Structure 1
Amino acid sequence: METACGRLTRYTSGKRRARQHIDIIVTFVLIAMRSVILLLIICAMSSRTAQAQMMHYPDKAFEMAQATGKDVMLVFSGSDWCIPCIQFNKKILSDSSFLRFAGDHLVLLEADFPQRKKIEAALRNQYDSLAAIFNPKGAFPQVVLLSPEKKLRAYVPTRQQTPDGFINTLKQLLQ
């Protein structure tokens, strides 16, 4: 025959086991929630990294263009002396909406011709070769759309453009 004390002991140990099961379930739920939050953070960061980065080495830019099938947007610039170039860089090339668009559709390449800063001779020779073909008049800034095979697609106007206007111009030219 079971005593009241034995029933109470069995009842409390059963409650204790149930509480342990609940604690385990809550722990798993919290771990799952943390995992979901971590995945959301990673997704948000990866969408931010989908923005285009300006490249400075023509060979690498055209290799990337061929691998991705994207056109190259070549920007001739004088980064430390050309006021319109500096303004174009700040207003358009640094704009987050432009960088997202470019990340999806273009490989960005800058051929910079600074006056105060020195660049490698081999790189300067590559820039000079591109300028001889695609910017013979030496216009700054000059933006050129090229196929991955270095064929001219279009000259892109840069004057009096807003980021959205520049993106719309590029969309039309890329069709």
Structure 2
Amino acid sequence: MKKTIYILLISIFTTVFASAQELTWHTDMGKASEFAIKEKKPLLMFFTGSDWCGWCIRLQKEVFQTNEFKKWANENVVLVELDFPKRVPQDDNIKAQNRQLQSMFKVRGYPTIWFVNPEMNSEKQINLTSLGKTGYVSGGPAKWIDQATSML
């Protein structure tokens, strides 16, 4: 009986800890910007080709899926995924939004990560102030986080 309770407690603890380390990737830039303004955090805008871009997939595995990055991201930024898939269906509004932002930020290759501060102006429009950009950085999560932190 004690062994069962012990295993149950470990299972609950593991589930709670794992969910605390999960990330929320927003796809709606407007909602993400409002959330970032409320939280007083910059946006990390990840331009990716999730189902075809090898360097994007590598960045996800080597950095974005690590506990080190998850902890850093939850404390420092609001995440936005701006995806350009080839095989995965995508909502037309999201497609249009992503193309507009790609053009606005002159994204020519993937992965590209822009850090921006969203600000609400007097006409209730959101302005984005650029903090810097990066892409794939070899050396694992610590090196990538160091470079990102220097921009923030």
Q: Per the shorter chain, which TM-score range?
A: 0.7 to 0.9
For residue 60 of structure 1, report the CA deviation from its aligned partner: 1.4
Q: 1:69 to 1:46 in 2, by over 3 A?
A: farther
User: Match for 1:170 among 135, 148, 151?
Assistant: 148
- CA distance in 2 between counterparts of 1:48 and 1:96 reads 11
- CA distance in 2 between counterparts of 1:52 and 1:67 reads 18
**Quick one: percent identity of the two aligned structures?**
26
Q: 1:47 to 1:119 in 2, by over 3 A?
A: closer
Segments of 4+ moved more than 6 angstroms: none
Match of 2:137 in 1: 159
Q: What's the RMSD between the two structures over aligned residues?
A: 2.2
Q: 1:137 to 1:103 in 2, by over 3 A?
A: closer
SS in structure 2 of the partner of residue 147 of structure 1: strand
- Name whichever structure is richer in strand by fraction: 2
Match of 1:30 in 2: none
Match of 2:55 in 1: 84
**Alignment length (residue pairs):** 135
TM score, norm. by length of structure 1 = 0.69
Structure 2's unaligned 5+ residue stretches are: 1-8, 120-127
SS in structure 2 of the partner of residue 110 of structure 1: strand
Q: 1:107 to 1:137 in 2, by over 3 A?
A: closer
